[in-house]
Amino acid sequence: MLNITERALTEALTELLEERPLDKINVVDITDKCGLTRNTFYYHFHDVYDALNCYFTNEIEKMLVKYEHDEDWSGGFLEGLEFVYHHKTMIEHIYNFVDSRELRDYLDSVIFKYALTVIGKEFKKTDYSVQVKEITADFYTNVLLGATIKWIKDGMKENPENMATLYTNVFYGTIEQTFKSIDESLKQFSNK
């Protein structure tokens, strides 16, 4: 969790991201916004990207604490989509920056946790290997991450609830076939 100073600095950064793109924000902008010094900023963060990464890491940690005991992480997934949707301008200012690694890492964490819980529930009903589960989780994480990035790129016209429902329906509608296909492929590889 962020301490008071880190929270002030990251909040100043996110407020600035509502106004302008990431590449147009520097340390002085952040410190002027929250009334702290450059030295204070550099005591806590290496640079603006480190502060942004810290902000997203904190958001993920808050969500994980909230949903850590849920059997179904779809609430966390929906909350992640809602977070992106409600911070649309900020997200677009980050996304349109050449290196939006921090945003991708945030989305990847939320989506992976969601994929893993859904796959885990379905996996319990099968006798496939753990390797099948891991490959399936990676596959769906990448598919959902790509779809979410496209949603952002296209201006987030669809509301988060509809997106979460769509993703969940596609997920549950195809997961058994995915398990089967991956299992068959792994058996073919081992027979060569």
**Domains present along the chain, CATH in parentheses:** 1-69 (1.10.357.10), 71-192 (no CATH)
Q: What is the pLDDT of residue 71?
A: 66
Q: What is the pLDDT of residue 15?
A: 97
Q: Hey, is 143 helix, strand or coil?
A: helix
Q: What is the pLDDT of residue 42?
A: 97
Which residue's structure tokens are 């996996």? 123
CB 76 within 8 A of CB 67: yes
CB 178 within 8 A of CB 126: no
pLDDT along the chain (192 residues), means of 10: 94 96 95 97 95 89 77 79 92 77 82 81 83 89 89 91 88 86 90 74
Residue type, 96: N
